[in-house]
């Protein structure tokens, strides 16, 4: 559905996207993860024909983003990071205007609007002004608007940024329902690792304009060597050589009286590990995508999420 070949975007001395090549299959939910400035939004804007690449090429639904931009635009829907619906209009009126702008046939326009409202759970609030909507409702309206012309590809750029945890989980359910009912290809950018883990078939981790890791969420987490087991030893100089020979132990590090192990199926194998060392305490956890991101980039993605959100809203209000 999407084919990207050596796509690059430069701004004078800054390279925002650096020689990116990627294929995304029909019906796939593909996640782009990265801190602010990694190049995620620039990729989406180029694929959506909002930015021209410096070099390279890409096709969306078999249409070239530079040679056939109008056909690309009819093939895509997009939900931006900042709100773009009209506060003074009702939810229904926002969808009606969008359908007219996209040339949705009048004979099916009303049905498309009603179907989109129902899909995102806004039928009962369709006649309320958008300024009366909660943040979650407004994001759902913008997803409905992106679907009104039956696109093949939907870009969701930080769809739950700024929402409270309850609204975020509700949005996840709507996105899952959307994939199931509409059979769309979705490209999702997010700062929330649990969101990507739950929704995405594959994930590309971006850093400095490049994809530095690409795989399923499960396989990315397996890169860290299984579950993490932290042992506090009774004696700092205990011999841990025997642990290195256990089949279940994939990685081992020690410091300041602690031993950190990468273990296959920690719940099952901790009893065997404890036969060989005397410990004061044991902690275990499963690796997360946040752990993977930190390992690959040396950065914590969540540190920038909310700060970047507020900064973008300040810029939005200024304009």
Instruction: Give 287's DSSP letter.
Output: -
Q: Consecutive sets of 10 residues in the chain, 319 residues long: mean pLDDT of each?
A: 96 93 95 89 94 97 97 92 89 96 93 91 95 91 91 90 82 85 89 90 94 92 81 79 85 79 84 88 86 81 48 39
Burial 258-290 (b: 16+ CB within 10 A, else e): ebebbbeebeebbeebeeebebeeeeeeebbbb
Residues 107 and 245 in one domain: no
Residues 211 and 272 in one domain: no
Which tens digits make up the pLDDT trace of 19-61?
999 999 999 999 999 888 889 989 999 999 999 999 999 999 9
Residues spanned by the domain of 13: 2-220
Residues 69 and 206 in one domain: yes
Q: What six digits make up the tokens of 70?
A: 């109008």
**How many whole angstroms separate alpha carbon 229 and alpha carbon 249?**
10
Which tens digits make up the pLDDT trace of 55-98?
999 999 999 999 999 999 999 999 887 878 999 999 999 999 99
Q: Looking at 220, 244, 260, which one is the last position of a domain?
A: 220
What is the domain-level CATH number for residue 34? 3.40.50.300
Residues 241 and 157 in one domain: no
What is the domain-level CATH number for residue 234? 3.30.70
Residues 68 and 203 in one domain: yes
Maximum Cα–Cα distance across the chain: 79
- Residue 207's contacts (CB-CB under 8 Å, 6 or more residues apart) are 34, 35, 38, 296, 297
Q: For residue 238, how many other CB atoms are within 10 A of its CB?
A: 18
Q: Would you say residue 252 lies in a domain? A: yes
Per-residue pLDDT, 29: 95
């Amino acid at each position: 559905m999407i084919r990207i070949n050596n796509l690059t975007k430069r701004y004078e001395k800054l390279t925002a996207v650096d020689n990116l090549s990627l294929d995304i299959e029909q019906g796939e939910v593909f996640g782009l993860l990265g801190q602010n400035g990694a190049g995620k939004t620039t990729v989406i804007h180029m694929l959506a024909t909002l930015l021209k690449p410096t070099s390279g090429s890409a096709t969306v639904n078999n249409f070239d983003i530079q040679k056939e931009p109008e056909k690309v635009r009819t093939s895509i829907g997009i939900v931006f990071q900042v709100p773009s619906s009209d506060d003074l209009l009702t939810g229904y009126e926002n969808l009606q205007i969008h359908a007219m702008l996209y040339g949705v046939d009048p004979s099916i326009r009303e049905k498309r609007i009603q179907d989109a409202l129902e899909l995102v759970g806004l039928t009962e609030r369709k006649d309320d002004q958008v300024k009366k909507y909660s943040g979650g409702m407004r994001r759902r309206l913008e997803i409905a608007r992106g679907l009104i012309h039956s696109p093949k590809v939907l870009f969701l750029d930080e769809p739950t940024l700024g929402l409270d945890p309850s609204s975020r989980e509700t949005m996840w359910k709507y996105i899952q329902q959307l994939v199931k009912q509409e059979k769309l290809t979705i490209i999702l950018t997010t700062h929330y690792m649990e969101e990507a883990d739950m929704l995405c078939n594959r994930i590309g981790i971006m850093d400095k304009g490049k994809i530095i890791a690409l795989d399923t969420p499960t396989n990315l987490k397996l890169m860290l060597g299984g579950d993490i087991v932290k042992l506090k030893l009774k004696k700092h100089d205990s011999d841990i050589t025997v642990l290195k020979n256990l089949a279940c132990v994939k990685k081992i590090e020690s410091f300041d009286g602690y031993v950190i192990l990468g273990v296959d199926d920690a719940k099952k194998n901790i009893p065997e590990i404890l036969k060989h060392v005397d410990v004061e305490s044991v902690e275990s956890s499963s690796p997360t995508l946040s752990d993977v991101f930190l390992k690959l980039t040396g950065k914590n993605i969540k540190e920038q999420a909310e700060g970047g959100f507020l900064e973008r809203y300040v810029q939005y209000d200024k304009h």
